[in-house]
Protein backbone atom coordinates (compact mmCIF):
# COMPACT_ATOMS: atom_id res chain seq x y z
CA UNK A 1 0.00 0.00 0.00
CA UNK A 2 1.13 3.51 -0.69
CA UNK A 3 0.55 6.34 1.76
CA UNK A 4 -2.57 7.35 -0.10
CA UNK A 5 -4.10 3.94 0.64
CA UNK A 6 -4.17 2.74 -2.96
CA UNK A 7 -2.04 -0.25 -3.94
CA UNK A 8 0.92 0.26 -6.31
CA UNK A 9 0.07 -0.56 -9.93
CA UNK A 10 2.01 -3.38 -11.62
CA UNK A 11 3.75 -2.51 -14.91
CA UNK A 12 1.41 -4.78 -16.84
CA UNK A 13 -1.57 -2.67 -15.78
CA UNK A 14 0.05 0.67 -16.58
CA UNK A 15 -2.09 1.14 -19.72
CA UNK A 16 -5.42 0.74 -17.95
CA UNK A 17 -7.59 3.73 -16.96
CA UNK A 18 -7.75 4.65 -13.29
CA UNK A 19 -10.57 5.78 -11.04
CA UNK A 20 -9.52 7.22 -7.68
CA UNK A 21 -6.10 5.61 -8.20
CA UNK A 22 -7.53 2.13 -8.81
CA UNK A 23 -7.14 0.25 -12.10
CA UNK A 24 -10.35 -0.30 -14.04
CA UNK A 25 -10.40 -4.00 -15.08
CA UNK A 26 -10.68 -4.76 -18.80
CA UNK A 27 -14.02 -6.56 -18.34
CA UNK A 28 -15.60 -3.60 -16.49
CA UNK A 29 -18.54 -2.15 -18.37
CA UNK A 30 -18.35 1.42 -19.63
CA UNK A 31 -20.89 3.69 -21.25
CA UNK A 32 -20.29 5.00 -24.80
CA UNK A 33 -19.11 8.32 -23.30
CA UNK A 34 -16.44 6.48 -21.34
CA UNK A 35 -17.90 6.30 -17.85
CA UNK A 36 -16.87 3.17 -15.97
CA UNK A 37 -18.69 1.58 -13.09
CA UNK A 38 -16.62 -0.56 -10.75
CA UNK A 39 -18.32 -3.85 -10.02
CA UNK A 40 -20.11 -4.05 -13.37
CA UNK A 41 -19.14 -6.63 -15.96
CA UNK A 42 -19.47 -6.18 -19.72
CA UNK A 43 -20.93 -9.58 -20.66
CA UNK A 44 -19.40 -9.48 -24.14
CA UNK A 45 -15.90 -8.71 -22.82
CA UNK A 46 -16.24 -11.37 -20.12
CA UNK A 47 -17.01 -13.99 -22.78
CA UNK A 48 -14.20 -12.74 -25.05
CA UNK A 49 -11.66 -12.94 -22.23
CA UNK A 50 -12.63 -16.56 -21.50
CA UNK A 51 -12.60 -17.70 -25.14
CA UNK A 52 -9.41 -15.86 -26.14
CA UNK A 53 -7.54 -16.72 -22.92
CA UNK A 54 -7.12 -13.07 -22.07
CA UNK A 55 -6.65 -11.74 -18.54
CA UNK A 56 -9.86 -10.13 -17.26
CA UNK A 57 -7.90 -7.32 -15.57
CA UNK A 58 -5.32 -6.20 -18.18
CA UNK A 59 -7.01 -7.67 -21.29
CA UNK A 60 -3.74 -9.24 -22.45
CA UNK A 61 -3.05 -12.84 -23.42
CA UNK A 62 -2.39 -15.39 -20.69
CA UNK A 63 0.47 -17.77 -21.30
CA UNK A 64 1.13 -20.70 -19.01
CA UNK A 65 -0.33 -19.62 -15.68
CA UNK A 66 -4.02 -18.93 -15.26
CA UNK A 67 -5.15 -17.62 -11.87
CA UNK A 68 -8.88 -17.82 -11.14
CA UNK A 69 -10.76 -16.30 -8.20
CA UNK A 70 -13.33 -18.94 -7.24
CA UNK A 71 -15.82 -19.34 -4.43
CA UNK A 72 -16.10 -22.67 -2.60
CA UNK A 73 -19.19 -23.69 -4.54
CA UNK A 74 -17.45 -22.96 -7.87
CA UNK A 75 -14.45 -24.96 -6.72
CA UNK A 76 -16.68 -27.91 -5.79
CA UNK A 77 -17.83 -28.19 -9.40
CA UNK A 78 -14.47 -27.09 -10.88
CA UNK A 79 -16.14 -24.31 -12.86
CA UNK A 80 -14.83 -20.76 -12.82
CA UNK A 81 -17.53 -18.31 -13.92
CA UNK A 82 -15.05 -15.51 -14.64
CA UNK A 83 -11.96 -15.34 -16.83
CA UNK A 84 -8.51 -15.95 -15.40
CA UNK A 85 -5.83 -13.43 -14.50
CA UNK A 86 -2.05 -13.12 -14.68
CA UNK A 87 -0.46 -13.80 -11.28
CA UNK A 88 0.52 -10.12 -10.93
CA UNK A 89 -2.93 -8.89 -12.02
CA UNK A 90 -4.50 -11.29 -9.53
CA UNK A 91 -2.29 -10.02 -6.70
CA UNK A 92 -3.23 -6.47 -7.60
CA UNK A 93 -6.95 -7.27 -7.64
CA UNK A 94 -7.03 -8.98 -4.28
CA UNK A 95 -5.46 -5.86 -2.82
CA UNK A 96 -7.56 -3.36 -4.75
CA UNK A 97 -10.96 -5.06 -5.08
CA UNK A 98 -12.92 -4.61 -1.85
CA UNK A 99 -14.89 -7.80 -2.54
CA UNK A 100 -11.94 -10.12 -3.08
CA UNK A 101 -9.94 -8.40 -0.36
CA UNK A 102 -12.77 -9.14 2.07
CA UNK A 103 -13.41 -5.51 2.88
CA UNK A 104 -17.14 -5.68 2.22
CA UNK A 105 -19.64 -7.76 4.17
CA UNK A 106 -22.23 -7.63 1.46
CA UNK A 107 -22.26 -6.89 -2.21
CA UNK A 108 -23.14 -3.30 -2.76
CA UNK A 109 -26.77 -2.64 -3.65
CA UNK A 110 -27.45 -2.35 -7.37
CA UNK A 111 -28.12 0.89 -9.18
CA UNK A 112 -25.89 0.30 -12.21
CA UNK A 113 -28.64 -0.76 -14.56
CA UNK A 114 -30.02 2.71 -15.20
CA UNK A 115 -26.55 4.06 -16.03
CA UNK A 116 -26.32 1.58 -18.90
CA UNK A 117 -29.95 1.73 -20.00
CA UNK A 118 -30.15 2.36 -23.73
CA UNK A 119 -26.39 2.12 -24.28
CA UNK A 120 -26.45 -1.34 -25.86
CA UNK A 121 -24.03 -2.59 -23.20
CA UNK A 122 -25.20 -5.87 -21.70
CA UNK A 123 -24.24 -6.20 -18.07
CA UNK A 124 -23.11 -9.66 -17.11
CA UNK A 125 -23.12 -11.22 -13.68
CA UNK A 126 -21.13 -14.39 -14.31
CA UNK A 127 -20.15 -14.88 -10.70
CA UNK A 128 -23.70 -14.29 -9.49
CA UNK A 129 -22.71 -11.27 -7.41
CA UNK A 130 -26.26 -10.19 -6.83
CA UNK A 131 -26.68 -6.96 -4.94
CA UNK A 132 -27.28 -7.41 -1.25
CA UNK A 133 -26.08 -11.03 -1.28
CA UNK A 134 -23.84 -12.06 1.62
CA UNK A 135 -20.18 -12.13 0.67
CA UNK A 136 -18.54 -15.56 0.50
CA UNK A 137 -14.99 -16.81 0.96
CA UNK A 138 -12.92 -16.82 -2.23
CA UNK A 139 -10.06 -19.06 -3.32
CA UNK A 140 -7.11 -18.41 -5.58
CA UNK A 141 -6.83 -21.27 -8.05
CA UNK A 142 -3.71 -21.61 -10.20
CA UNK A 143 -4.23 -23.68 -13.34
CA UNK A 144 -2.11 -24.67 -16.36
CA UNK A 145 -5.08 -24.51 -18.75
CA UNK A 146 -8.86 -24.73 -18.95
CA UNK A 147 -11.73 -25.60 -21.27
CA UNK A 148 -14.51 -23.15 -22.11
CA UNK A 149 -17.94 -24.64 -21.49
CA UNK A 150 -21.44 -23.28 -20.99
CA UNK A 151 -22.12 -23.16 -17.27
CA UNK A 152 -25.14 -25.45 -16.79
CA UNK A 153 -26.45 -23.23 -13.96
CA UNK A 154 -25.85 -19.73 -15.32
CA UNK A 155 -26.06 -20.63 -19.05
CA UNK A 156 -23.04 -18.40 -19.62
CA UNK A 157 -19.53 -19.24 -20.82
CA UNK A 158 -17.30 -20.48 -17.99
CA UNK A 159 -13.95 -22.20 -17.48
CA UNK A 160 -13.97 -25.90 -16.65
CA UNK A 161 -10.83 -26.98 -14.76
CA UNK A 162 -9.86 -30.64 -15.01
CA UNK A 163 -8.09 -32.16 -11.98
CA UNK A 164 -4.75 -32.40 -13.78
CA UNK A 165 -4.98 -28.74 -14.86
CA UNK A 166 -5.23 -27.43 -11.28
CA UNK A 167 -1.83 -26.57 -9.86
CA UNK A 168 -2.66 -24.91 -6.56
CA UNK A 169 -5.66 -23.81 -4.49
CA UNK A 170 -5.28 -21.28 -1.71
CA UNK A 171 -7.98 -19.49 0.27
CA UNK A 172 -7.95 -15.73 -0.14
CA UNK A 173 -7.57 -14.28 3.34
CA UNK A 174 -10.80 -13.81 5.27
CA UNK A 175 -11.79 -10.30 6.43
CA UNK A 176 -10.73 -10.84 10.06
CA UNK A 177 -7.22 -11.92 9.14
CA UNK A 178 -6.77 -8.82 7.00
CA UNK A 179 -8.29 -6.38 9.48
CA UNK A 180 -4.96 -4.97 10.60
CA UNK A 181 -3.83 -3.91 7.16
CA UNK A 182 -7.22 -2.65 6.15
CA UNK A 183 -7.26 0.66 4.30
CA UNK A 184 -9.91 3.31 4.80
CA UNK A 185 -13.08 1.94 3.27
CA UNK A 186 -14.34 3.86 0.30
CA UNK A 187 -17.96 2.86 -0.18
CA UNK A 188 -18.13 4.28 -3.70
CA UNK A 189 -15.43 2.03 -5.14
CA UNK A 190 -15.67 -1.63 -6.00
ZN1 LIG B 1 -3.30 -9.43 -16.64
Q: What is the mean pLDDT of residues 54-58?
A: 96
Instruction: Give me ligand 1 centre to Cα 108, in Å.
Output: 25
Element (H, E) at 138: strand 138-143
Between the alpha carbon of residue 177 and those of residues 63, 69, 96, 101, 174, the distances in Å are 32, 18, 16, 10, 6
Q: What is the dihedral of CA 1, 20, 26, 187, to 10 degrees?
A: 90
Q: Residue 183: what pLDDT?
A: 44
| Integer-rounded Cα radius of gyration of the chain | 16
**How far apart (Å, rounded) are the C-alpha atoms in residues 129 and 27?**
15
Q: How many other C-beta atoms are found inside a 10 Å radius of the C-beta of residue 126? A: 21
Q: What is the mean pLDDT of residues 71-98?
A: 92
Instruction: Give me ligand 1 centre to Cα 31, in Å.
Output: 22
**How far apart (Å, rounded) are the C-alpha atoms in residues 137 and 173?**
8
3-state helix, strand, coil split of the chain in percent (to 5) is 20, 25, 55
Instruction: Give me ligand 1 centre to Cα 60, in Å.
Output: 6
Q: Residue 119: what pLDDT?
A: 67
Element (H, E) at 53: none
Instruction: Give me ligand 1 centre to Cα 58, in Å.
Output: 4
Instruction: Give me ligand 1 centre to Cα 133, in Å.
Output: 28
Specify the range with the lowest mean pLDDT, choosing from 6-10, 70-74, 118-122. 118-122
Which sequence spans correspond to the domains of the chain? Answer: 11-174
* CB-CB contact of 77 with 70 (8 Å): no
More confidently predicted of 164 and 178: 164
Amino acid sequence: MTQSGVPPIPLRLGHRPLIAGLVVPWITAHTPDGRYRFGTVDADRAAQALHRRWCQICGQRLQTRFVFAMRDRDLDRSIAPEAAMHPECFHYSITACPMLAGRMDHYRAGGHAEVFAGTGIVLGDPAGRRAGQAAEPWNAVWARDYTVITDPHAHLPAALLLPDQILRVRPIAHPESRQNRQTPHNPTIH
